[in-house]
Amino acid sequence: MNTDQLIKVFKAKFSGDYAVFSAPGRINIIGEHTDYNNGFVLPGAIDKTIDLVIKINHNSNIINVIANDLKEEESITKDTTKTKYHWTKYILGVVCELTKLGCNIPGFDCVFGGNVPVGSGMSSSAALESAVGLALNELLGLKLSRIQLAKAGQMAEHNYVGVRCGIMDQFASLFGEKGKLVKLDCRSLEYEMIPFNPENYSIVLMDTRVSHSLASSEYNKRRASCEEGVGIISAKYPEVKSLRDVTFNMLEEFIDDMQIETYKRCLYVIGETVRMQKACDALKTNDFITLGNLMFECHDGLQLLYEVSCKELDFLVYTAGKFDGAIGSRMMGGGFGGCTISLVETAKEKDFIEHSSNKFKTEFGYLPHVHEVKIAEGARRII
């Protein structure tokens, strides 16, 4: 992303030396809604970033922020309880979470902007949190690890935004590497970088442009259902701490003890954990056909059991399923809107995009957005 414009705005509004940090959004190949169930995920950082021009003001506790793309600005302090804008919560949240870790965060001036599409399920919010956390860590010499920064971003979402998310998005933004996926064990936070260079296939993101307005409340409900399921199962199996520890057979024992909705949510998560492992095995042998099939299965689960899809996402996945050359497709991220991620033969990528876009337009009356992404490096200082 070109940061010149952000620097120009910074110089016009503030003064003094500045530093520039950049943090990416993410895609996720498979392993959806598994992170807060202590399972595995397989995200990658992408070449779309949120960039932050920042200067610390050691003599002040005021945090002045400009959201360049939105042409909005706000001044807050750590003690601000109600922000004027939604995006300010991400910054306030990170500042407050770092403060809870014992860090002394003075005021600062900053301008941010970028090209991670907002509301597309590519985690622009985690990118912003990661950029702010990394900048404060480095400029103030806080000596926090990237894992601590990822957790601070996650807790900012829980405590200041109200979304009880897992750690996948912040982790991917901070730990991503070019051409590699992060296979993250969300229980131990151990991770493995898995090369992802499907020579003959491309990743295509098609954005329904449906904004996921239900996302935060329904997301928290899904998490609560999973926890409810664990509560019921662990009464008999105390070793069960999360759905990660539950097998299909175990769940079947409790089918009459839980609401059908809770059962369906648990069934999806257990299935996704199995798919995730199969996907990693398939990647080891570059078996993209198997990976693609698992992506279709994942979507079925998200649509029918976890119920976090929407008709626009379902339509795109269905259309991909009928297109010769699209070997996998599913909705990506929290759901209720945003993007599908598809694995498509590179030679047929253009046709696929045209075909899906036209079908979508006939059905819904407008064109989806297509995002081209590459798997790229994680958050870093660039100036």
Say which residues have a Cβ less than 8 Å from residue 216's Cβ, sequence separation at least 6. Answer: 161, 162, 163
* Calpha distance 312→212 (Å, rounded): 12
User: Judged by CB under 6 A, does residue 53 bind ligand GLA?
Assistant: no
First-to-final CA distance of the chain: 13
User: Judged by CB under 6 A, does residue 280 bind ligand GLA?
Assistant: no
Stretch that binds ligand GLA, among 16-24, 86-94, 162-170, 196-204 (CB under 6 A): 162-170
Say which residues have a Cβ less than 8 Å from residue 364's Cβ, sequence separation at least 6. Answer: 312, 315
How many residues are present in the chain?
A: 383
Among 23, 33, 326, 359, binds ligand GLA (CB under 6 A): 33
User: Judged by CB under 6 A, does residue 307 bind ligand GLA?
Assistant: no
Binding track, positions 169-198, relative to ligand GLA; x by CB under 6 A: x-----------------------------
User: Judged by CB under 6 A, does residue 36 bind ligand GLA?
Assistant: yes
**Nearest CB to ligand GLA, comparing residues 218 and 351:** 218
Q: How near is the Cβ of 167 to ligand GLA at its closest, in Å?
A: 6
* Calpha distance 327→322 (Å, rounded): 10
Q: How near is the Cβ of 35 to ligand GLA at its closest, in Å?
A: 5
Q: How near is the Cβ of 171 to ligand GLA at its closest, in Å?
A: 9
Q: Are 296 and 271 in contact (CB under 8 A)?
A: no
Among 165, 182, 246, 283, binds ligand GLA (CB under 6 A): 165
Among 333, 337, 368, 378, binds ligand GLA (CB under 6 A): 333
User: Judged by CB under 6 A, does residue 336 bind ligand GLA?
Assistant: no
* Calpha distance 273→11 (Å, rounded): 49
Indicate if 169 belongs to the active site: yes
**Nearest CB to ligand GLA, comparing residues 65 and 165:** 165
The CB density around residue 365, as the number of other CB atoms within 10 Å, is: 7
The active-site residue, picked from 51, 169, 245, 314, is 169
User: Judged by CB under 6 A, does residue 349 bind ligand GLA?
Assistant: no
DSSP string covering 70-127:
TTEEEEE-TT--S-SSSTHHHHHHHHHHHHHTT----EEEEEEEESSPTTSSS-HHHH
Say which residues have a Cβ less than 8 Å from residue 108's Cβ, sequence separation at least 6. Answer: 54, 55, 56, 57, 63, 64, 136
Q: How near is the Cβ of 65 to ligand GLA at its closest, in Å?
A: 22
**Nearest CB to ligand GLA, comparing residues 32 and 345:** 32
Residues that bind ligand GLA (CB under 6 A): 32-33, 35-36, 123, 165-166, 168-169, 333-334
